[in-house]
Amino acid sequence: MEGSDFFQRAYDIVRQVPEGRVATYGQVARMMGEPRKARYVGFAMHSSPGMKGGVPCHRIVFADGSLAPGFAFGGADEQRKMLEAEGVGFLPNGKVNLRQYLWEA
């Protein structure tokens, strides 16, 4: 597993994702210059201090717009609730509408 430097770099990017937008694990990895480490970004999000630490990890989704199963910060439905509270819209299949809500850094 990557060291805390990797995690901190991931958190720094995720802190930039504005309210009402989402980014993908792969997008964060590419922005870090680590395009093959999307899974490690996932490990970082799972280990993050969450909103208490200023890391809006709920804004990070899979490349197809699906949400993390069993979201680490309050259960499976919490990520969706947090995103909806920020105005993020979902498709009928339950995935985030990436065409409309994907962050363009």
- Mapping DSSP onto H, E and C, the string for the chain reads CCCHHHHHHHHHHHCCCCCCCEEEHHHHHHHCCCCCCHHHHHHHHHHCCHHHHCCCHHHEECCCCCCCCCCCCCCCCHHHHHHHHCCCCECCCCCECHHHHECCC
Name the catalytic one among 10, 14, 31, 57: 57
For the question of residue 8 being annotated catalytic, the response is no
Residues identified as active-site? 57
